[in-house]
A and B are shown apart, each in its own frame.
Chain A
Amino acid sequence: MVEKKLREKAKELLSKKEVDLIIGFGEGTQPLRATPVFIRNPEEADRLVWNSFCENNLATYLHKFSRFKVGIVVKGCDARSVTALALEKRFKPEQVVLIGVPCQRMIDRKKVKKAVKGEIHKVREEGEKIIVAGEDGDVVLKREDFLYPLCKACTHRNPVQETLRVGDPVGEAPLTEPNPEAKAFEKKPPEERWAFFEKETGRCIRCYACREACPMCYCTECFVDSSNPRWIEKSLSSADLEFYHIVRAYHQTGRCTNCGACERACPMDIRLTYLTQKLNQEVEELFQFETGVDPNALPPLSTFKTDDPQEFVK
């Protein structure tokens, strides 16, 4: 249903020349995957799909088309990223047509792969069920058990800002409390916390896929690529990996929308969202700011209030 409407809208926008290009999701080359597609002709609009595997944050591609008028298919988290990017003046808001799709929450493909024996040939969704055709015939899985933990805690499933909407709005009630990973993690003793961080980042192969997947990582020269000053050395020390992960996360302060693209992009399955979740929580507690909700609120680290908390200062 949503898919059909989406294609119709895309055709309409392209044939009326309201946009030069539509960024959306297409069928992936493998089951359990959807791939970003860039559509320029109305005839191609049928390539667009909408399912529970449209997990990428498409706002990542927006900077690459800053000279065009772009239509972009957005979920709740993507829409907030677009707002945050417009706030940082990456493009003019009127350049972007937000095609909002209320999100049904995405399915964790890695979890599905673990639940099904052997190779998966085909996947289809029927309401609250996922039917996976594997080597031993069809397996029926309950959708709710396979959602991403982040999606379970999502509080903005309906795009906050949108130019037009496809599909009906959904109930916003999260299945768990917001920032569950950060809340659970901060209760552990400090030694255990550092040990976990060291173990996770120790697996990093520095492919920087987390950076590439993130819509907010757009610097022309990232601090890891800078040779003067050289922040990150090409040594075998795990301290360099820790440095990278601390700074990558810290640079998202007040900018992260908790979409989880970084963690999903990681080929080594490093846990990353517990870092950015904490920063989101901090920004909310200290500065009462939520990323991408208010298109006029300045990013928290580029502004201030005279009565900001300062109990930590001697």
Chain B
Amino acid sequence: MEPTWEPKILAFLCNWCSYAGADLAGTSRIQYSPNIRVIRVPCSGRINPLFILKALQNGIDGVLVSGCHPGDCHYLTGNYIGRRKSATLKRFLEYLGLEEGRVQFSWVSAAEGGKFSQVVDEVTRDIRKLGPPKHFAKQKRGQGFQDSRVVGFKGPS
């Protein structure tokens, strides 16, 4: 039997709000899509855009970045700095031709377990619609290294 495709989504959650929000969703027994894999980071401003790119390159289907609401940052300004990075990176990736919605951003506070589950469900739905990555991914899941687009030498145009 052909296994049905389910998206695998990487979530970068900030330690102080979104991770606690996810925790609340769990302790409150709120059901949400099991497609996310969480990496806890100190702050949404800590996220290097290279993390997101590397994840996509290694074959993840979608990335969610979540942090404290503006004004609530544990480090006072981290999420504001992160917001600027996210805004430019998202626009830039879409400009290059990467599908809209592969990389998503949200604010989830420690009290918003319900919102967290909603966000995860929404993101999963969006990425399920997009399907497996068409561009940029180096390996297909479960197949190890299998890149059909190995570079051949082409001269200058």
Contact = CB atoms under 8 A, between A and B. Distances in A.
Contact of B156 (A240, A269, A306): A269
B127 interface: no
Nearest to A300: B84
Contacts of A146: none
Contact of B97 (A192, A203, A237, A287): A192
A241 B57 CA distance: 11
A61 interface: no
B81 A304 contact: yes
A308 B156 contact: no
Contacts of A190: 94, 97-100
Interface stretch (A5-13, A45-53, A163-171, A242-250): A242-250
B35 interface: no
A145 to B, nearest CB: 20
A195 B97 contact: yes
Interface string B81-104: 101111111111111111110001
Interface string A264-289: 00011100000100110011001100
Contacts of B89: 250
Nearest to B79: A304
Interface size class of B (residues with CB under 8 A): 35 or more
B83 A253 contact: no
B85 A279 contact: no
B77 A237 contact: no
B27 interface: no
B107 interface: yes
A182 B137 CA distance: 25
B97 A301 contact: no
Contact of A269 (B88, B90, B157): B157
A202 B154 contact: yes
A112 to B, nearest CB: 17
A238 interface: yes
Interface size class of A (residues with CB under 8 A): 35 or more
A195 B98 CA distance: 10
Nearest to B81: A304
A27 to B, nearest CB: 27
A47 B88 CA distance: 44
A308 B84 contact: yes
**Interface SS, A side:** helix
B119 interface: yes
Nearest to B123: A314
Contact of B106 (A191, A306, A314): A314
A218 interface: no
A309 B80 CA distance: 10
B53 interface: yes
Contact of B150 (A185, A238, A247): A238
A226 B104 CA distance: 28
Interface in A37-82: none
A278 B91 CA distance: 9
Interface in A217-253: 223, 231, 235-243, 246-247, 249-250, 253
B71 interface: yes
B87 A310 contact: yes
Interface string A175-210: 000000010011000111111111000110000000
A290 to B, nearest CB: 15
B88 to A, nearest CB: 5
A239 B97 contact: no
A313 interface: yes
A260 B150 CA distance: 29
Contacts of B94: 190
B149 interface: yes
Nearest to A268: B156
B54 A241 contact: no
Interface of B: 49-50, 53-54, 57, 70-71, 77, 80-81, 83-100, 104-107, 119, 122-123, 135-138, 145, 147, 149-151, 154-157
Given A193-B97, A203-B156, A238-B150, 6 more contacts: A194-B98, A236-B147, A238-B149, A239-B137, A249-B92, A312-B105
